[in-house]
């Protein structure tokens, strides 16, 4: 955190008082914190408070140009290593989603090239409003990070989701962000994601429920951490993360061949794809017609990509696998890690709410040959990915 440059945006909600603690804790950890407040935020907490805590002037008015050598909002935009908005009202989220710039904060946000993290805070019904949800989804697709609000008693008297994350959670998020950022500088990451599809005839195939979200989050986090990322993806409806080279495949065989081509150049291989274990032994050239009451299809095993990578990888390469389980997660994960020569394995129980295929969140445990390394509670997949990437960076350093 030392000398990291954080711009803290504070908007007009009752949770603005918590921003003082965020600013204080970041400053105490050595960060260079600059604060921008909206006019409405000053109704809840004074600029003097934030100036005292950060030891820097607080920006409120776009036209209050104190230094003739610079344009304030451009200077602050260029200053940031990270931009945090806490609390973030529905209003500032909408402005950012639409590209509006009518005050100091929104103008600076449009000018910055730094990563942006938003900690929403609002009434539960506002938070669940489809327009607000759509705006947040728009920003997520642009790479904006979200520090999800908590569930509990709100200032308005309602109980539900919308309470800004506690200052300690936000500071921890920032610490994890900087820990992961730069962890893979100069490294090459080869990541697989999504399902594979195994054809039966021209219109039917065997596949699984994988959405690719975890693999794509890992690709984004690895790129964010400085890696050169090659993403080998099965069929998904996701956009490739910025700066990531995506190679699209369909079958397990295509994925295996692509992975083996790129394997020699990789420093880390992350096998997050849900590869089909079996495929039809015979693929019909014409569409099968419905006739008999029962149909028997003979399946054969597909190629075990992780096993082959484990056999071929060099000692200086790190192989990370995934295990989606529904029972005895730890035993099955450790067995898979041992059999396939993995260095780390990320396991999750897909039968748990918030940890299954297609979910935006995950609950994972990471194991090595000695046993459990870390266990992560339910959190957004990009946050899970960042913690996994930070761990991978540490292990590569040890290598």
Consult the annotation and say whether 349 binds a ligand: no
**Cis omega before residue 263 (within 30°)?**
no
Q: What is the mean pLDDT of residues 251-271?
A: 97
Handedness of CA 233, 182, 25, 107 (dihedral sign): negative
Record the pTM.
0.70
Consult the annotation and say whether 336 binds a ligand: yes
Handedness of CA 251, 252, 257, 258 (dihedral sign): positive
39 band by pLDDT with thresholds 50, 70 and 90: very high
- 156 is an active site residue: yes
Q: pLDDT (tens digit, 9 = 90+) per residue, 85-140?
A: 999 999 999 999 999 999 999 999 999 988 899 999 998 889 999 999 999 989 98
From 70, 74, 155, 156, active-site residue: 156
Q: What's the start-to-end Cα distance of the chain, in Å?
A: 25
Q: What is the mean pLDDT of residues 255-282?
A: 96
Q: pLDDT (tens digit, 9 = 90+) per residue, 45-96?
A: 999 999 999 999 999 998 877 776 667 778 888 888 999 999 999 999 999 9
**Can you list the domains of the chain with their CATH numbers?**
5-180 (3.40.50.1950), 188-398 (3.40.50.10300)
Consult the annotation and say whether 322 binds a ligand: yes
Decide if 100 contacts 106 (C-beta within 8 A). Answer: yes
CA distance 116 to 146: 8
Consult the annotation and say whether 188 binds a ligand: no
Consult the annotation and say whether 134 binds a ligand: no
């Amino acid at each position: 955190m030392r000398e990291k440059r954080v711009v803290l945006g504070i908007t007009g909600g009752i949770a603005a008082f918590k921003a003082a603690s965020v600013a204080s804790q970041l400053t105490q950890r050595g960060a260079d914190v600059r604060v921008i407040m909206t006019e409405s935020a000053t109704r809840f907490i004074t600029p003097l408070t934030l100036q005292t805590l950060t030891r820097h002037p607080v920006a409120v008015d776009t036209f209050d140009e104190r230094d003739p050598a610079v344009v304030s909002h451009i200077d602050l935009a260029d200053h940031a290593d990270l931009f945090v908005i806490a609390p973030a009202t529905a209003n500032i989220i909408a402005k950012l989603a639409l590209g509006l710039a009518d005050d100091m904060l929104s103008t600076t946000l449009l000018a910055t090239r730094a990563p942006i993290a938003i900690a929403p805070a609002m009434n539960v019904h506002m938070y669940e409003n489809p327009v607000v949800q759509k705006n947040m989804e728009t920003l997520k697709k642009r790479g904006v990070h979200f520090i999800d609000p908590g569930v509990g008693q709100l200032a308005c008297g309602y109980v539900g989701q919308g309470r800004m994350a506690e200052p300690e959670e936000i500071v921890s998020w920032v610490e994890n962000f900087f820990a992961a950022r730069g962890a893979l500088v100069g490294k090459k990451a080869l990541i697989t994601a999504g399902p594979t599809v195994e054809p039966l005839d021209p219109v039917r195939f065997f596949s699984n429920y994988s959405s690719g979200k975890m693999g794509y989050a890992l690709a984004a986090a690895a790129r964010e951490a400085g890696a050169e990322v090659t993403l080998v993806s099965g069929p998904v409806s996701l956009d490739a993360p910025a700066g990531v080279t995506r190679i699209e495949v369909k079958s397990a065989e295509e994925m295996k061949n692509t992975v083996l081509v790129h394997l020699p150049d990789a420093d880390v291989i992350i096998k997050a794809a849900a590869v089909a274990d079996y495929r039809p032994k015979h693929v019909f050239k014409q569409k099968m017609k419905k006739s008999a009451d029962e149909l028997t299809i003979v399946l054969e095993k597909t190629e075990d990509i992780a096993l082959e990578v484990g056999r071929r990888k060099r000692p200086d390469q790190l192989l990370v696998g995934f295990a989606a389980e529904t029972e005895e997660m730890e035993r099955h994960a450790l067995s898979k890690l041992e059999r396939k020569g993995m260095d780390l394995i990320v396991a999750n129980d897909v039968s748990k709410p918030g940890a299954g295929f297609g979910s935006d969140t995950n609950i994972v445990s990471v194991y090595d040959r000695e046993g459990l390394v870390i266990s992560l509670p339910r959190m957004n997949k990009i946050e899970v990915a960042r913690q996994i990437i930070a761990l991978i960076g540490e292990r590569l350093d040890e290598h």
